Amino acid sequence: MKNKTVFITGAGSGIGEACARKFASQGANLILNARNVPKLVELKNELAEKYAVRVHLLPFDVRDRNVATNAIQSLSDEWKDIDILINNAGLVIGVDKEHESHPDEWDIVIDTNIKGLLTITRLVVPGMLKRGSGHIINIGSIAGEAAYPGGSVYCATKAAVRMLSDGLRIDLVETPLRVTNIKPGMVKTNFSVVRYRGDKQTADNFYKGIHALTGDDIAESVYFAAAAPPHVQIAEILVMPTNQATGTISFKKDVE
């Protein structure tokens, strides 16, 4: 992975941040995207000093297509050749029933998880095709396999990520480019705090009694796919805690 350029969206926390640390530890140079500029600056300084890699920051909201376009088109020659794109930016807000949920929140989730992924893919993949190499890794979810209570909109977006990944793989079948969909189960990150609208206690309680995955666990799966030989395409990885069987079936020990 040494000297390869990896572009990670949503790199300010959770899985995205863990991916940045993993790839930096293997010598990759990073383009990091998120909305939280102070967090990105802190991460850049840490990784550049610890691993002696180059880190370039592109802070913007993936929902804003014009800003995203201008940011990526502004990349200098030393940064424009992106080897690996990790479409990680994503979120869920609330656990409301579909008919009781908030339309404004639908927009945020759909525009981030689907349209944002499409925008970044559209901006990056043509350059990969021109160079004849590249790998697109989309962070999907077990939620894209089947709906669960209070998650219909989010589940729909992650089902879309699955279809977009499959469709892109089909579209690129005559090329050397690879497409991977990583589908995590229960991962304990700030993601759940956003789901519960900032209620950290409720988010923490969701994971009580089970040894949940961490962002680092998912980053290992992402790196595994990226490090496979060029003729090997890891199309999908579904990764869950040992005590999780499906999106809705898990075993949690009683905790006082």
The pair of structure tokens assigned to 88 is: 């990680």
Question: Are 88 and 141 contacting, i.e. CB atoms less than 8 angstroms apart?
Answer: no
* CA–CA dist 22, 35 (Å, integer): 21
The pair of structure tokens assigned to 66 is: 């014009």
- 85: phi then psi, degrees, rounded to nearest 5: -110, 125
Q: 3-class DSSP state for residue 41?
A: helix
Strand order in the sheet with 178-184: 55-57, 29-32, 5-8, 84-87, 135-139, 178-184, 236-239
Confirm whether 154 is a catalytic residue: yes
Per annotation, catalytic residue among 154, 196, 207, 223: 154
CA angle 240, 241, 245 (to 5 degrees): 65
Tell me how far the alpha carbon of residue 113 is from its chain's centroid: 9
Residues belonging to the active site: 154
